[in-house]
Amino acid sequence: MPEIRIVSTRPFPGQKPGTSGLRKKVAVFAQPHYLENFVQAVFDSIGDIAGKTLVVGGDGRYHNRAAIQTILKMAAANGFGRVMVGQGGILSTPAASAVIRKYRTFGGIILSASHNPGGPTEDFGIKYNIPAGGPAPEAVTEAIHARSEAISEYRIVTAADLDLDRPGEQRLGAMTVEVFDPVADYADLMESLFDFAAIRAAFKAGFRMRFDAMHAVTGPYAVEILERRLGAPAGTVMNGVPLEDFGGGHPDPNLVHAHDLVEALSGEGAPDFGAASDGDGDRNMVLGRDFYVTPSDSLAVLAANATLCPGYKAGLKGIARSMPTSAAADRVAEKLGIPVFETPTGWKFFGTLLDAGKATLCGEESFGTGSDHVREKDGLWAVLMWLNVLAARKQSVADIVTAHWREFGRNIYSRHDYEGIDAKAADGLMEHLRGLDLKGKRLGAYGVAVNDDFAYTDPVDGSVSRKQGIRVVFDDGSRIVYRLSGTGTEGATLRVYIERFEPDPARQDIDPQAALADLIVIARDLAEIEARTGRTEPTVIT
């Protein structure tokens, strides 16, 4: 039996999970005791783990394998009975959620910094998902953080590293380590939800798509599902081999970072459909030929067409969206006569609604869409749902979305990010906005209906989350929302979300930046962005 060591340690400040787990530079995670402290804080906070099963895997970024070895040795020393590890240390975030649920494990540890770059000088991340499969709710992450601040020792066995590439069982002291195929269970789940025969027939009839895995975790999933099971031609999946540094890129599926895909989808001979996913496989971007679908519209279109998909034939129970996400989905919910829930940013807030059967589809403006099939947003799932809808309707992406606007109106939408700004300046800007009393005032051509700092009371468990974003809502329903990112690792990122409703079909075919120009100016002036941050332009516009 390997020896269990009890190692003395001291707390590291700031082991506080953000929007989605703890994210720091690799150098921070790699320092002695840092990862160990956090993992021990997790194990100390989640209840009786003796003999239980844990799922472990990550997006394959630099430091993934080293971190997994440490977690396995700590899991053994802390009394877990079994750990299921994705082969090669690989598990996309939605696949991890699927596996946690399918095998009813005591949750899982996911190693990812999502869309943040990877490599020795880049980002790493870790989060704990609960037995329901979703990200730990705030009560749990707060307990983990509190424990990390009081920690004085951790437990780890002394043993040789395990072979993460050899499928099957290995022993680590009293614990079993099972290395399993990270793709199969997930691919089976997708096959149970969507009309694979119809999609296969579409590919056979010449439908063409490109999927950009951005050298991140979805490569093997996309090859298996799109090229093997659905018969799309080889080469449909681009950048399909996961690399520790994502090829030096930024695995963020948006118009800026997925430029290879955007280029492939433009012009006459372009494929019918394009999609990309992020570092850990939970985000998606969807494109038609020369046509970009905003994530908020994607949620609305999928909701309106859900019954075309076998897994959603019975209809939707409700739709949930994060507060900054556009209200496009609300219009669909209204028409379907189902409830819509507005939650704070971050997938962890959807968990209770999904568990309680109050919502079936969920979405965030940040390229996140998902359903009650798992408890994470799910990039490939969204791509497959689009493929199912396209195969059923036999129309182009552009035609489907513009018809949707004609029917429901268009929520013209854009997000402006100011990345890497001074953290104090960012806090000052938010305080300034918090202090404004705008109700009844006019800003440009707009009258302010309400302004507040969004607070959310979970309708299922009653938990309250405050300070979730400043909202300025105008009389005509237009909105400006301000938030600071909770996923970055350097300085602060200010996100400004701008939305206006356009009911008139004759005015819907318009560039969002032009359509929102006056609101964009109001947003900048109101927050004093230039004076407070020195920035005249956003870093990224989506």
- Smallest distance, ligand VG1 to C-beta of residue 349, A: 9
- Smallest distance, ligand VG1 to C-beta of residue 364, A: 4
108-167 positions binding Co ion, by CB under 5 A: 114
- Smallest distance, Co ion to C-beta of residue 240, A: 17
- Smallest distance, Co ion to C-beta of residue 283, A: 5
> Under rule CB under 5 A, how many of the chain's residues touch Co ion?
5
Residue 366 contact among ligand VG1, Co ion, none, beta carbon within 5 to 8 Å by kind: ligand VG1
Cα–Cα–Cα angle for 72, 75, 76, rounded to 5 degrees: 90
**Are the CB atoms for 29 and 65 separated by under 8 Å?**
no
- Smallest distance, ligand VG1 to C-beta of residue 94, A: 10
The residues facing 472 across adjacent strands are: 451, 480
Per-residue CA distances from 249 to 115, 211, 239, 258, 446 (Å): 10, 16, 11, 9, 40
What does the CA dihedral 198, 203, 208, 211 come to, rounded to 10 degrees? 80
- Smallest distance, ligand VG1 to C-beta of residue 438, A: 23
Using the contact rule CB under 5 A, the part of the chain among 73-81, 272-280, 443-451, 455-463 near Co ion is 272-280
Distance CA(301)–CA(351), nearest Å, equals 22
Q: Whose Cβ is closer to Co ion: residue 274's or residue 279's? A: 279
Tell me the torsion sign for CA atoms 85, 66, 92, 261.
negative
Residues that bind ligand VG1 (CB under 6 A): 19-20, 114-115, 278, 282-283, 322, 345-347, 364, 366, 368, 485-487, 495
Neighbours of 496 (CB within 10 A): 24
Please identify which residue in 36, 123, 282, 499 interacts with Co ion, judged by CB under 5 A.
Answer: 282
Q: Whose Cβ is closer to ligand VG1: residue 18's or residue 505's? A: 18
Using the contact rule CB under 5 A, the part of the chain among 202-210, 280-288, 291-299, 512-520 near Co ion is 280-288
Residue 347 contact among ligand VG1, Co ion, none, beta carbon within 5 to 8 Å by kind: ligand VG1
Q: Annotate 118-139 with DSSP letters as a single string.
A: -STTSEEEEEEE-TTSSBPPHH
Residue 364 contact among Co ion, ligand VG1, none, beta carbon within 5 to 8 Å by kind: ligand VG1
Q: Whose Cβ is closer to ligand VG1: residue 155's or residue 377's? A: 377
- Smallest distance, ligand VG1 to C-beta of residue 400, A: 24
Distance CA(442)–CA(366), nearest Å, equals 30
Neighbours of 163 (CB within 10 A): 11
Residue 195 contact among Co ion, ligand VG1, none, beta carbon within 5 to 8 Å by kind: none
Q: Is 114 a catalytic residue?
A: yes
Q: Whose Cβ is closer to Co ion: residue 75's or residue 374's? A: 374
**322 Cβ contact partners less than 8 Å away, ≥ 6 residues apart:** 342, 343, 344, 345, 346, 349, 363, 364, 365, 366
**504 Cβ contact partners less than 8 Å away, ≥ 6 residues apart:** none
235-254 positions binding Co ion, by CB under 5 A: none
Q: Is 109 helix (H, G, I), strand (E, B) or coil?
A: strand
Element (H, E) at 360: none
Residue 19 contact among ligand VG1, Co ion, none, beta carbon within 5 to 8 Å by kind: ligand VG1
**Are the CB atoms for 508 and 405 separated by under 8 Å?**
yes
- Smallest distance, ligand VG1 to C-beta of residue 347, A: 5
Catalytic site residue from 92, 114, 366, 371? 114
Q: Whose Cβ is closer to ligand VG1: residue 220's or residue 368's? A: 368
* Structure token pair of residue 146: 């509190």
Residue 45 contact among Co ion, ligand VG1, none, beta carbon within 5 to 8 Å by kind: none
Task: Return the residue nearest Co ion (CB atom).
Answer: 114
Task: Return the residue nearest ligand VG1 (CB atom).
Answer: 114
**79 Cβ contact partners less than 8 Å away, ≥ 6 residues apart:** 49, 50, 51, 174
**Are the CB atoms for 286 and 326 separated by under 8 Å?**
no
Please identify which residue in 122, 123, 252, 278 interacts with Co ion, judged by CB under 5 A.
Answer: 278
Q: Annotate 225-255 with DSSP letters as a single string.
A: IIIIIS-PPTTSEES-S--TTGGGS----ST
- Smallest distance, ligand VG1 to C-beta of residue 488, A: 6
487 binds Co ion (CB under 5 A): no
> Could you tell me which of 86, 110, 27 has the C-alpha nearest to residue 279?
110
Q: Whose Cβ is closer to ligand VG1: residue 171's or residue 466's? A: 466
Question: What's the chain's length in residues?
Answer: 542
What's 349's DSSP letter? Answer: G
Using the contact rule CB under 5 A, the part of the chain among 173-181, 282-290, 435-443, 494-502 near Co ion is 282-290
Please identify which residue in 123, 195, 280, 376 interacts with Co ion, judged by CB under 5 A.
Answer: 280
Q: Whose Cβ is closer to ligand VG1: residue 81's or residue 491's? A: 491
Residue 59 contact among Co ion, ligand VG1, none, beta carbon within 5 to 8 Å by kind: none
Backbone φ and ψ of 321, nearest 5°: -140, 155
- What type of residue is 541? I
Tell me the torsion sign for CA atoms 351, 353, 357, 361.
negative
Residue 127 contact among ligand VG1, Co ion, none, beta carbon within 5 to 8 Å by kind: none
Q: Whose Cβ is closer to ligand VG1: residue 227's or residue 417's? A: 417
Q: Site map for Co ion, 348-387, x if CB under 5 A?
A: ----------------------------------------
Q: Whose Cβ is closer to Co ion: residue 98's or residue 309's? A: 98
What is the binding site for Co ion (CB under 5 A)? 114, 278, 280, 282-283
Active site residues: 114
